[in-house]
Chains A and B, each alone.
Chain A
Amino acid sequence: MKKFLALMLMSMTPATLVSTICVSTICVAQSNQTTSTDPTTSAADPSPAERSIAEAQRTIGEKPEQYTGYNLLATALIRRARETSEARYYAEAGDAIKKSLQLAPNNFDTNKIQVSILLGEHEFPAALDAAQALNKQSVDDVMVYGLLTVAYSELGDYKDAETAAQWMLNLRPGNLPALINAARLRELFGEIDGSYELLQMAYDSTPPTENEQRAWLLTQMGHLRVAPGNTDAAEKLLQQALTAFPSYPVSVGELAEVRIAQKRYEEAVVLLRQRYQATSRTANLFDLAKALRLAGHEGQAKQAFAEFETKALLESNKKDNSNRELIFYYADYAKQPAKALKIAEQEYAWRKDVYTLDAYAWALHVNGQDVEAGKQIETALKVGIRDARLFRHAGEIALKSGDSVAAQNYLRQSAELKTADSEQARVELASLLGGRSR
């Protein structure tokens, strides 16, 4: 979800505007921010965000007394966070915004950027409060509706998220942030083709110079093609994305998903290792560990899981955490159901999006609380999402609750999709049907 969140944030902050303005000769300042560890850039070829950062720093150097340079810097840093999947850029963006607010307190645009940073840091309740305040201040600001859409969505209030996204579409049909937000909601509502269509529209209206943004959109389009089993189309889109923006972590990660769906686990491991080395996000380590296990590297997998647990626990009390992965780790791999439920309750206390509901339901299930687990997973599925893992979980919870009809139904829906969870669901469905026939 982080990857989707990141673009939605980007698409509704002035960063896109900045980058759009900075096309070709208008803005060709060379960045001095390139680091050798970043996979997305080289010294000779700064990324769009790096160019924007350099430009913003130049602006600040020339006019340090003006807040606008700091706002440009903050938005560029938010963009850099997406390019690299490195959360530290949000902190740097926050520093820039503090400076901006010192120079121009309560500036509306600055406040919007600040909400973007809160969202990037997963401080969704605070972001929602701040976005609602901005919405009262200016009722027709499309960007604010975008901030609201993301906050509502991440907290699991899909009704209000839909209302806010529709406002965006009404106020400016076809605007890029609205398309991306609506595409995300359509995916959550189970309208995969509709989601794809909006992403295609967003892609078509993204300037060719916006390589990273185009790569992101291609990656999401590829993502939508994986679950239905169209891995060839997914791979083509992802290769296009990686051509547009080489070594892009989100594209690398999605390509690994394709490899897993194709049961090419060794290649998935290579890709996920590449992504983890590039970004070192804790959640990425969990994906790597799972792939290592699928590839039969039990020892390495065990080591990776252990490292993941350590890191995930360190960030567990922060809002930007890997708690959902940690829940599944305790539930499915470490076989420590009590720990899974403890983390799940902690997460459930502040957000109720479909993925958190799924994780909470699964934690309840592995602790034998299947009635409550059933309620939670049903709530998640009522949103409309078509996700193989959620269907499989719902099937297994239903089965444990003694409702084999519902179990078959859910497992069949999972099996019809084409992910690693589908594979597992197929096995369980066959077992269920076989058992019944016996």
Chain B
Amino acid sequence: MKKLKLLVGLATALFMLAPCSLFASSHREAPITALDRSADVTDWYAFVSYQNPNNVTFILNVDPLLEPSNGPNYFPFDNSVQYEMFVDNNQDGIPDIAFFFRFNTEIRQPDLFTGFVGNLAGVPPITSLSGTGSEGLSLRQTYTVTMVNLHTGKSTLLNDGKTLFAVPSNVGPKTMPDYQSLFNQGIYNLGNGICVFAGTVDDPFFIDLGAFFDSVNFPSTVGPILSPTIDADNTHNYAPDAVAGFNVNSIVLEVPIAMLTVDGKIHPATDKQAVIGTYGATARHHITVRNSPNPDGSSGAFQQVNREGNSLINEAVIGTGFKDRFSEDFPANDSQFANFFLNPVAAAVLHSLGVPVPPNPRTDLLILAQYEPPICPGCGPQDAGPVADLLRLNTGIPPTPVGSQLRLGFIAGDNAGYPNGRRPIDDVFDISLRAIEGILVDSTKFGLPLGDGVNTKTEGFNNAFPYVMPANSGRNSVHIGPGQTGCTGQPGGICPE
């Protein structure tokens, strides 16, 4: 029985981790998620805070590819969605701690044609999220943060007594002349070392989406095998960042590590209790065709809609017809998707492009689906837990100082980077390509420097809480494509065709 379980787990793990190439960030992976934008988890990040090594920061991004100028209501969070962050702290794949976020929307000026107006018709510019200067915020959202101990059921409202406002999208300089100030106003210190932020921000993900989706058609001078110069560059792009200029809705939470570990203490990296497994999710009330006595939108148990642990699993590994099943199920049940992992499609694709890949089964990828060294050096075989798509983070590994962080994270020796958690700077697309390629098996034999040539975020990174950048301006934002400027690593900054 134990052997069978191990085999199934192994097979599942392979698939969970292997074909991370086919879709990059989870920008619309599942058929139905694509029809439920506000509940679509695009990316999930978890890392030891750069500013405070005793804290962990979680970032849950939802609602993909928001065009900054897309008024009049822009991109409010969905009142009927519960946004969720989960932490497993005892290596069993089942969450022990949860943070829930619920939003409330008020329309303060129902007759107004748009959600936001400023410097127009007697309405002052929007300079504040509340009080004077907030008159033009017709559409305004507040939210709550609740921490739940899933063992005891104890629920704690972390913002007790404090009104938290979500930061609206950046409409433009006339309406919001000092957007940075509004952004900063959306950062809340809740006490006890907890900080929170919610709002529309610049999407931190970066990738040459167009080239990738065009059947892996990268510019010939760039990818998919990067030159040593491009590969070593952490700060310039050689191909267009297709997500540049787009926004995303982001919830950022920073909490002390001691709030997350199983015993409430901080542990060294060598201790298995330092390692947590995390994922972000969205949920809606369960609805039945036959009406219940209570309103659907506000009653009944929540049911998970979408989730993300490691980047790219649902997008790249799970078959189209099963993505919704994967989305609504829990990580601890991921062994049911084993068949998708036995023969990683993405590895076969790489092989078809002439890239050497190891033969199946891909045991090398197990590290990402279970608690194992080197992310969990203190874990023995008995601590591996079930195969589960969790983003594992060793909270005992200190953050790499800003400036020394490497886009290729853990596989480049920057141990605080993906797949030991995930930071905004981590180039998960390139890292995943190389993992599929087999770099964990033999970095010489299977170590071609694969990548898309998009090595950094066009808008840059925020190195302090909330670790995301303010939203792009609806009035002035631009996107980047082939033949356009925006590739700083190329002559004249012109992106290759």
User: Which of A's residues lie within 8 Å of B, judged by CB?
Assistant: 11, 14, 16-17, 20-21, 23-26, 108-109, 137-144, 162, 165-166, 169-179, 182, 185-186, 189, 191, 193-194, 197-198, 200-201, 204-205, 207-209
Query: Does B154 belong to the interface (CB within 8 Å)?
Result: no
Nearest-neighbour CB distance to chain A for B335, whole angstroms, equals 16
**Are A11 and B35 in contact, with the CB atoms below 8 A?**
yes
Q: Which of B3-11, B295-303, B393-401, B403-411 contacts A (4 or more CB under 8 A)?
A: B295-303
Residue pairs across A and B with Cβ atoms less than 8 A apart, 22 shown, are A17-B34, A23-B67, A24-B70, A26-B67, A141-B320, A141-B324, A142-B324, A143-B32, A166-B288, A171-B32, A171-B328, A172-B30, A172-B36, A172-B324, A173-B284, A186-B289, A197-B296, A198-B287, A201-B296, A205-B36, A205-B37, A209-B70
**Are B73 and A138 in contact, with the CB atoms below 8 A?**
no
Query: Does B80 belong to the interface (CB within 8 Å)?
Result: yes
CA distance A193 to B288 in the complex (A): 14
Q: Considering the complex, give the chain A residue whose CB is closest to the CB of B478.
A: A25
Nearest-neighbour CB distance to chain B for A186, whole angstroms, equals 6
Q: With A191-B291, A197-B295 as given contacts, are A173 and B324 in contact (CB-CB < 8 Å)? A: no
Q: A138-B320, A172-B327, A174-B81 are in contact. List 20 more A-B contacts (CB 8 A).
A: A11-B35, A21-B65, A23-B67, A26-B65, A141-B322, A143-B31, A165-B289, A170-B303, A172-B305, A173-B285, A173-B286, A173-B303, A176-B36, A178-B287, A186-B289, A191-B290, A197-B296, A197-B297, A205-B36, A205-B78
Which one of A17, A137, A172, A178 has the highest number of Cβ atoms from chain B below 10 Å of its Cβ?
A172
Residue numbers in A under 8 Å from B287 (CB-CB): 169, 173-174, 178-179, 182, 198
**Are A175 and B35 in contact, with the CB atoms below 8 A?**
yes
Residue numbers in A under 8 Å from B31 (CB-CB): 14, 17, 141-143
Query: Does B248 belong to the interface (CB within 8 Å)?
Result: no
CA distance A258 to B33 in the complex (A): 36
Q: With A143-B31, A165-B289 as given contacts, are A174 and B67 in contact (CB-CB < 8 Å)? A: no
**Are A17 and B70 in contact, with the CB atoms below 8 A?**
no
What are the nearest 5 A-B pairs in CB distance? A138-B321, A194-B291, A174-B284, A24-B67, A140-B325
**Are B479 and A25 in contact, with the CB atoms below 8 A?**
yes
Residue numbers in A under 8 Å from B32 (CB-CB): 142-143, 171-172, 175, 177-178
Residue numbers in A under 8 Å from B305 (CB-CB): 172-175
Q: Considering the complex, give the chain B residue whose CB is closest to the CB of A172.
A: B32
Residue numbers in B under 8 Å from A204 (CB-CB): 78-80
Which one of B79, B286, B288, B479 has the highest number of Cβ atoms from chain A below 10 Å of its Cβ?
B288
Q: Can you list, as one digit per residue, whether each of B255-298 has a CB less than 8 Å from chain A (1) or not (0)?
A: 00000000000000000000000000001111111110001110
**Are A140 and B291 in contact, with the CB atoms below 8 A?**
no
Q: Considering the complex, give the chain B residue whose CB is closest to the CB of A184.
A: B289
Nearest-neighbour CB distance to chain A for B41, whole angstroms, equals 13
Query: Does B38 belong to the interface (CB within 8 Å)?
Result: yes
Residue numbers in B under 8 Å from A109 (CB-CB): 320
Among B55-103, those with CB < 8 Å from A are 65, 67, 69-73, 78-81
Q: With A174-B287, A189-B290 as given contacts, are A23 and B70 in contact (CB-CB < 8 Å)? A: yes
CA distance A142 to B31 in the complex (A): 8
Which one of A137, A142, A178, A191 has the highest number of Cβ atoms from chain B below 10 Å of its Cβ?
A142
